[in-house]
Chains A and B, each alone.
Chain A
């Protein structure tokens, strides 16, 4: 792992964006997340790694309350976004999800035009006062998602007609169009080829300037490439959380070491 230039990766800030304390998640009887405490920093890429079924995606989906849509799922503990408990009664998950955007494993653009895909979020949240406003948001989002040059001449064509990597960048543009504070990415590159993956990874690094990014990934190389901080989950426990360089080169927990050296997982 010498080629990963881990030392160059400096954490941008120490300001805590999301603070999770004592989070437990149950699916019916099964206990999926066990008492997880984690602080996610602002303007930082945080990677969640771990073997399949370790709960990393489940925990990610707690951060924008996507688990609410699953009938028998129960979340306890506290998760605070800028000090506000997101599971508080006064918080509407719909508003929360405009603040905490999400990109999914498989690119899932709406079967609508590229423009409408990006404009959908701002439209339903009433973020644009005029058509010109909306045009500007769409352009800005597509530029930030590094898709503007490829898409500017075909904004009225269906988003589903793009290639896989372009579709995923369109989904990122859609997620950042509502100007969220946090961007959650659930294995965003697992359905992409290596070239598209490289483009998306580069983009993630650029997004760090404006957002706090949390990425779930199966690939330890990817975690090492894009993140500043890494959390290792195993069997629903947060085993280790620290700076990416430290987690990969000098893990404190023997389970982390076993995982990154390929003995478990």
Chain B
């Protein structure tokens, strides 16, 4: 080795110091690049959330007007239409004709049905005068939220001058309020933004995910256990493994087409049902669960298997007494992440008809329904102004559920993780 000239001058020499400086610069660069990347990612995330919140927050309140409704005594089937009309017209006594004409447009067209169901719940209100808060129609909601510029020429505005005057009259009388928009959560879809809600979509998504979980979780774990613990490693198992990995990468719309062909056209299952949506999502989630489960099984140290085999446990006992419990946190995490992915999946649900306009929440998984992502899709496509903010609000709700599911995954992982 004597003929090789190493670091002439030793470790304090100028050459060696320069070498150290060069390495330090390299490290600094790497660190800076990492910081920049993370900053960009965070900025993007913040921009997304900020834009959603800025457009969406208005949808969480809804302008209401308080009416004094009088129902004639003795009439068991009163005309709620007439009563509602009477109630709003009573507020415009002495006003000019133009305002009176606008008055009934201020109310949401669903107002009479809200009064009707309120009376149905409290039958003793018949024959009395009572006060009730009903939503205003979308243009006046926009006006109240300051989204309609009063300076714009009347012809370019969605509410007329008379309408603004009528609304201001109600405002001055202190009859206008803007409470939390409960309709967004307790109503199903509607043509009218002020009445539209996510209940149908949330229940549809719940049924679809439940179906997806019940099908993909046992099958996925079973397949993974077989492949990882029992199957012989040969060309066939390699082929199966490659195909499972490929399936995980197949675009979701392709699964939608498959579901359309098989579940709807061949098996004749109902169109747009969350059950069928769940089956479709299960097709997509299966590879994810299989891959996550196999990884979790693989991560169980071989020493545990040897220990169990060494005391005379059978293969099946090794798997069910030792390996599977130890792999459970990983399996659950993978499953929940797979389900979270399925929750946000839109394309396959569009293909099996879960984007229909349905105004009632499904009562069974076999009724037609929408799901959260398809509901967002429908609202994003709607022309009414009120749906702009409601689309953002629905996205926030969907993101909320996703955060919740991921939090559950983290909790379960920490809860069940065991050291060895």
**Within the complex, which residue of B307, B314, B418, B419 is in contact with A108, where a contact is CB–CB below 8 Å?**
B307
Given contact pairs A95-B312, A124-B317, a sample of 7 additional A-B residue pairs in the complex whose CB atoms are under 8 Å apart: A94-B312, A108-B420, A109-B307, A110-B307, A111-B326, A160-B419, A177-B311
Q: How far is the CB of A120 from chain B (nearest CB, A)?
A: 6
Is there a chain A Cβ closer than 8 Å to B304's Cβ? yes
Q: How far is the CA of A120 from the CA of B320 in the complex (A)?
A: 13
Bitwise interface map of B from 319 to 332 toward A, beta carbon under 8 Å scored 1, else 0: 00110001000000
Chain A residues positioned under 8 Å from B264 (CB to CB): none
Q: How many A-B residue pairs have CB under 8 A?
A: 70
Which 9 pairs across A and B sit closest by C-beta, in order of nearness? Answer: A108-B303, A97-B312, A98-B312, A121-B311, A102-B310, A108-B307, A111-B418, A111-B420, A94-B314
A110, B309: Cβ atoms closer than 8 Å: no
Bitwise interface map of A from 77 to 118 toward B, beta carbon under 8 Å scored 1, else 0: 000000000000000001111100111101011110000000
Known contacts A108-B304, A110-B304, A110-B322; A69 and B312 CB within 8 A of each other = no
User: What's the tally of chain A residues with a CB closer than 8 Å to chain B?
Assistant: 29
Q: How far is the CA of A110 from the CA of B312 in the complex (A)?
A: 14
**Within the complex, which residue of A71, A111, A174 is in contact with B311, where a contact is CB–CB below 8 Å?**
A174
Which residues of B, 397-420, contact A by the 8 Å Cβ criterion?
Answer: 418-420
B309, A178: Cβ atoms closer than 8 Å: no
**Within the complex, which residue of B305, B310, B419 is in contact with A111, where a contact is CB–CB below 8 Å?**
B419
User: What's the tally of chain B residues with a CB closer than 8 Å to chain A?
Assistant: 22
Which one of A110, A160, A171 has the greatest number of beta carbons of chain B within 10 Å? A110
Q: How far is the CA of A121 from the CA of B306 in the complex (A)?
A: 13
Q: How far is the CA of A158 from the CA of B232 in the complex (A)?
A: 34
- Which chain A residue lies CB-closest to B325? A111
A104, B307: Cβ atoms closer than 8 Å: yes
Q: How far is the CA of A170 from the CA of B389 in the complex (A)?
A: 64
Q: List 29 A-B contacts (CB under 8 A).
A: A66-B310, A69-B309, A71-B233, A94-B312, A97-B310, A97-B311, A97-B312, A101-B310, A102-B310, A104-B306, A106-B303, A108-B307, A110-B308, A110-B322, A111-B304, A111-B326, A111-B418, A120-B308, A120-B311, A121-B312, A124-B317, A125-B312, A160-B419, A160-B420, A175-B310, A175-B311, A177-B311, A178-B311, A178-B312
Bitwise interface map of B from 145 to 163 toward A, beta carbon under 8 Å scored 1, else 0: 0000000000000000000
Is there a chain B Cβ closer than 8 Å to A64's Cβ? yes
